[in-house]
Chains A and B, each alone.
Chain A
Amino acid sequence: MKSITNFKIFVGFCLLLGLALSCKGEAKSDPKTPEVEAQEVTKQGQAFIKDDEATPNVLNIAMGSEDHTTLVAAVQAAELENALVNAGPLMVFAPTNAAFDELPDGTVENLLKPENKDALANILKYHVTPGKYSKDFLKKFQKLGQANNQDVSVSTEGDDVFIGEARIVASIPAGNGIVHVVDKVLLPPEE
């Protein structure tokens, strides 16, 4: 995992450099153009709006958590940032890094490959419900309809609530929904 992400950084910077150079080349005829375009790039969706006043959204919460770096990397690889900052309401079941580590060796690395972007997006969307329910309230449900179009079961054991096999270990209300931290990665059933 680490070597791969380091490699990504490297590739990223190479690309960055390359593109920056090619842009500069084109912009020679009009020296003001790059500035204007630099402003344009901040307008690529709600995920990139600077906002210190409003309650953090589900994406902000995940990005701010040290236990969810794998999840955040996956969201970014699948380019799902903008879907997570929408008006929602969105309920995100956020597996911890430890949960991702429990997957068979190589699974995460494999999913992060560009050619597996759709499969990764499908898994991530299986962690998102349109709705906003507290852990207690979830006890009323037997299943939830997830954003990838599949259902996931809801069950209760004492005070614990399980989404599929994953136990909710913490819940953080967000500006556009709620993040339930879970101890397992949810894998969508084969259809």
Chain B
Amino acid sequence: MKKLTLIGAALLGIAALLTACKDSGASSNGALAYSAAEKVYVSPGEHDEFYAFISGGFSGQLSVYGLPSGRLFKVIPVFSQDAEKAWGYNEETKPMLNTSHGFIPWDDSHHPDISQTNGELDGRFVFINGNNTPRIAKVDLSVFETTEIIEIPNSAGNHSSAFVTENTEYVVAGTRFSVPVPQRDMPINEYKGNFKGSLSFISVDPEDGGMDLAFQVLMPGFDYDLAHPGRGASHGWMFFSTYNSEEASTLMEVNSSQNDKDFIAAVNWKKAEEYIAEGKFTAMPTNYAHNVYDEETHTATSTMKKEVRVLDASELPGLVYLLPTPKSPHGCDVDPTGEYIVGNGKLSADLTVHSFSKMIDAIENEKFDGDAYGIPILKFEDVLGGTVKQAGLGPLHTEFDAEGNGYTTFFISSEVVKWKVGTWEVIDRQPCYYSVGHGMIPGGNSRKPFGKYFVAMNKITKDRYLPTGPEVTQSAQLYDISGEKMQLLLDFPTVGEPHYAAGIDASLVKERSKKIFSLSENKHKYATTSDADVRIERNGKEVHIYMTMIRSHFNPDNIEGIKVGDKVYFHVTNLEQDYDVPHGVSMIGANTSELLIMPGQTETFVWEPKQVGVWPFYCTDFCSALHQEMQGYVRVSPANSDIPLSWSLGE
């Protein structure tokens, strides 16, 4: 035993020294080999080359980072209330979190994807799915704010989402959990054959980006995991990975892994459009929320929709084909040419790569291997394009560079593996610290990846950072992929769980970034665009304050005549028309968050005073040299007081 331990120690020592020597060799080469530090250093005042949009997983939000520096610029609130930005707290954005289940203040944000034109990223929008209460959100990259959220009916666990087609014709939303469709009271053990999966196609208006649930494809009761669009020749198809083709409903870790192969479902959405045009859909009654934030009124509205068009995959020939894929595939990724569809069987050591042209050939020659609920299953051997053999343990997700290489993450063996598309040979592997989930190459889901960097998103960090108690940060790791070998450059901490990411060349986004909201275009119902319009109106117990803010005062800043039991609406307009001068406002005892109001914008919070007295409010954002002077008082009198409503500034 002792001897063997010694051997172990000796081997480890050797490995350690080998690595140490390699490192010192690389950094001492100076001009010949750039050091990692040089590659990630962005000088003060300089801009990063790429934006990275990294989802927050259970935080429900979307974080914006720069690459290669790993600097965090913004956390965009999407599905979770955010007191910092009053998201879901102010009156304007509360409707954004409305659903058929009522106001839901949280979700699990998973897979951001950037809008495309002709198969290339266009930098207009980021779409991202809410996993828990099925939703898709759209973030407008001119303002870096969530401007639309649509709920997905007949779905549960909106996981294979929110991936866009190559002209952003559709954003897709495949259900993870199959459920009774429509929902009804029934025994769980009658799952098999009765529960259904739905794959939703949400159209995106080419002009204004408006989303609309165009149709759903009703599928067998499998679990639908991830999706990616066809491109080039395979444009018009969307590929969804499935598992639990066993249709189990309990102890899934065993029961959904019994079949050697599950499927990648290839959905011909152009065919679906034909069927819709021919009227071969069922108009199914349902109930879901569609929430839209209007940039001119600075206000969201929520509309309940009552119907969805459903296409039954079992009954409509040519709509869906099933590609057998080993061992519970997770990632389902399409290479830049659109020819190869990579299935990452999470219990497999191999990657299965399907060929689109072989798939079309197999369909045309009807090389079927039975069917599942009437949906043809193609013969595995006839659609197989290649196999990346024994690449690692627990393959999860594959991204691509522009040079014909795939980069696959392996959760169990905790590494990223580079392999050659077409020859399927492994070129390089680098460890991830630790337990990498998804990975990201800027533009990796498009015809033209930008390449250059690979970002690994790790679930576990243990000793990688200063400890912060039992909960330690999850992290991203940046690799330089410009050479034959990948080089680890940087670790950086992330917000929540860095579940998935999308990256884009910054030049495609930053020129369009808005600096202020024009006051002249402010159509908020309670906007106060000049000091002449400042006023307070009482309607019974409801009081509306039309207030303005500008460096460095509120107007009005002295208010009297408010009574205990009133419901006081502060409608506050930021009169600044200068870049990067937001103001904040908060009121003592208000049961809500602050407001953080951008130049030209109007926001509203509600205060219900419960105690007699004179109560202050103040600006919460350090706006100016006289920020500390930016304050005001509200006098609150007893409910039966007859003190008249009055307001003033500087009197």
Give A residues with C-beta under 8 Å from B: 5-6, 8-9, 12-13, 15-16, 19-20, 22-23, 26-27, 29, 33-34, 37-38, 40-46, 48-49, 51, 63, 66, 69, 72-73, 76-77, 82-83, 86-88, 90, 122, 125, 130-131, 133, 140-141, 145, 147-149
User: In the complex, given contacts A12-B7, A33-B24, A86-B412, what are 19 additional A-B residue pairs having Cβ atoms less than 8 angstroms apart?
Assistant: A6-B3, A9-B6, A16-B14, A16-B17, A23-B20, A37-B20, A41-B20, A43-B464, A45-B414, A46-B433, A46-B434, A76-B11, A86-B411, A86-B414, A122-B390, A147-B393, A147-B412, A148-B390, A149-B390
Question: Which B residues have a C-beta under 8 Å from some C-beta of A?
Answer: 1, 3-4, 6-8, 10-21, 23-25, 28, 253-254, 257, 327, 347-350, 390, 393-394, 411-414, 431, 433-435, 459-460, 462-464
- With the chains together, A26 CA to B17 CA distance in Å? 13
A145 touches B1 (CB 8 A): no
Assess whether A131 is in contact with B253, with CB atoms less than 8 Å apart. Answer: yes
User: Within 8 Å CB of B394, what residues of A?
Assistant: 130
Contact check: which of A19, A33, A48 meets B18 at CB < 8 Å? A19
CB pairs A–B below 8 angstroms (29 shown): A5-B4, A6-B3, A12-B13, A16-B13, A19-B14, A19-B18, A27-B24, A34-B20, A37-B23, A37-B24, A43-B464, A44-B15, A44-B19, A46-B462, A49-B463, A51-B462, A69-B4, A76-B7, A77-B11, A83-B412, A83-B414, A86-B411, A87-B434, A87-B459, A125-B393, A130-B347, A145-B257, A145-B347, A149-B390
Q: A148 to chain B: which residues have CB within 8 Å?
A: 349, 390
**Are A45 and B10 closer than 8 Å at their CB atoms?**
no
Q: Which residues in B have their C-beta under 8 angstroms from that of A41?
A: 16-17, 19-20
Bound CA–CA A16/B20 (angstroms)? 12
A43–B463 CB distance below 8 A: yes
A12-B21 in contact (CB<8A):
no
Residue ID in chain A nearest B14 by CB atoms: A15
State A12–B3 Cα separation when bound (angstroms): 12
A86 and B435 in contact (CB under 8 A), knowing A19-B18, A22-B21, A73-B8?
yes
Residues of A within 8 A of B414 (CB): 45-46, 82-83, 86
- Nearest 6 A/B pairs, CB to CB: A12-B10, A41-B16, A19-B17, A37-B20, A149-B349, A69-B4
Q: Are B431 and A23 in contact (CB under 8 A)?
A: no
Q: Report yes or no: B10 in contact with A16, Cβ–Cβ below 8 A.
A: yes
- B3–A5 CB distance below 8 A: yes
| Chain A residues in 8 Å Cβ range of B459 | 87
B16 close to A12 (CB less than 8 A): no
Residues of B within 8 Å of A19, CB to CB, are: 14, 17-18, 21
**B413 CB contacts on chain A under 8 angstroms:** 82-83, 86
* B62: min CB distance to chain A, Å: 25
Q: Please give me the residue from chain B that is nearest to A118 by CB atom.
A: B390
Within the complex, what minimum Cβ distance (angstroms) separates B27 from chain A? 9
Chain A residues with CB under 8 A of B390 = 122, 148-149
Q: A51 vs B434: C-alpha distance in the bound complex, in angstroms?
A: 16
Residues of A contacting B350 in the complex (Cβ-Cβ under 8 angstroms): 149
CB distance from B118 to the nearest CB of A (A): 39
Max count, chain A CB within 10 A of own CB: residue among B350, B393, B462, B464: B393
Nearest-neighbor residue (CB-CB) of A70 within chain B: B4
Residues of A within 8 A of B349 (CB): 125, 147-149
B349 (CB) vs chain A CBs: closest residue: A149
With A37-B23, A69-B1, A82-B413 known as contacts, the answer to whether A20 contacts B17 (CB < 8 A) is yes
Residue from A38, A122, A140 within 8 A of B254 (CB atoms)? A140
Residues of A contacting B1 in the complex (Cβ-Cβ under 8 angstroms): 66, 69
- A45 in contact with B7 given A19-B18, A82-B414 (CB within 8 Å): no
Contacts of B4 in A (CB 8 A): 5, 69, 72-73
Q: How far is the CA of A147 from the CA of B393 in the complex (A)?
A: 7
Interchain nearest-CB distance for B436 vs A (Å)? 10
Shortest Cβ distance from A9 into chain B, in angstroms?
A: 6
Instruction: Determine the distance from Cα of A180 to Cα of B243 in the docked complex, in whole angstroms.
Output: 28
Least CB distance from A6 to B in Å reads 8
Is A131 a contact partner of B19 (Cβ separation < 8 A)? no
What is the CB-to-nearest-CB distance from B646 to chain A, in angstroms, rounded to a whole number?
64
What are the residues of chain B within 8 A of A26 when measuring CB–CB? 21, 24-25, 28
Task: Report how far A133 CA is from B255 CA in the complex, Å.
Answer: 13
- Minimum CB–CB distance for A61 against chain B, Å: 15
A191 to B464 alpha-carbon distance, docked (Å): 41
Q: What's the least CB distance linking B16 to chain A, in Å?
A: 4
CB distance from B26 to the nearest CB of A (A): 11
Considering only CB atoms, which chain B residue lies closest to A15 in the complex? B14
On chain B, the residues within 8 Å of A72 by CB distance are 4, 8
Instruction: Tell me the bound Cα distance from A175 to B20 in angstroms.
Output: 31
With the chains together, A42 CA to B254 CA distance in Å? 36
Distance (Å) between the CB of A3 and the closest chain B CB?
12
Nearest Cβ distance between residue B344 and chain A, in whole angstroms? 13
Distance in angstroms between the alpha carbons of A13 and B18 in the assembled complex: 13
A40 & B11 in contact (Cβ 8 Å cutoff): no
The closest CB in chain A to the CB of B346 belongs to A130
B20 touches A40 (CB 8 A): yes
Closest residue of chain B to A140 (Cβ to Cβ) is B254
Contacts of A131 in B (CB 8 A): 253-254
Q: Which residue of A lies closest to B461 (CB)?
A: A46
Across-interface contacts of A23 in B (CB, < 8 A): 17, 20-21, 24
A48 CB to closest chain B CB (Å) equals 8
Q: Are B348 and A149 in contact (CB under 8 A)?
A: yes
Residues of chain A within 8 A (CB-CB) of B412 are 83, 86, 88, 90, 130, 147
> Which chain A residues border B18 with CB–CB below 8 Å?
19
Task: Give the shortest distance, in Å, between B32 (CB) and chain A (any CB).
Answer: 15
From B3, B23, B431, contact of A82 by CB (8 A): B431
B433 touches A43 (CB 8 A): yes
Q: Which residues of chain B are near A125, meaning CB under 8 Å?
A: 349, 393
Tell me whether A8 and B7 are in contact (CB under 8 A). Answer: yes
A73 touches B17 (CB 8 A): no
A38–B21 alpha-carbon span in the complex (Å): 10
CB-defined contacts of A130 to chain B, threshold 8 Å:
347, 394, 412
A69-B4 Cα distance, complex, nearest whole Å:
7
Complex Cα distance, B15 from A48, in Å, reads 12
Chain A residues with Cβ below 8 Å from B253 are 131
- What chain B residues lie within 8 Å of A51 (beta carbons)? 462
Q: Which residue from chain B places its CB closest to the CB of A6 in the assembled complex?
A: B3
Nearest-neighbour CB distance to chain A for B440, whole angstroms, equals 21
Q: A19-B17, A69-B1, A82-B431 are in contact. Are A76 and B411 (CB under 8 A)?
A: no
Specify which chain B residues have a CB less than 8 angstroms from the CB of A43 in the assembled complex: 433, 463-464
User: Cα distance A37–B463 when bound, in Å?
Assistant: 17
Cβ 8 A contact of B20, one of A38, A69, A86, A145: A38
Q: Which residue of A lies closest to B251 (CB)?
A: A140
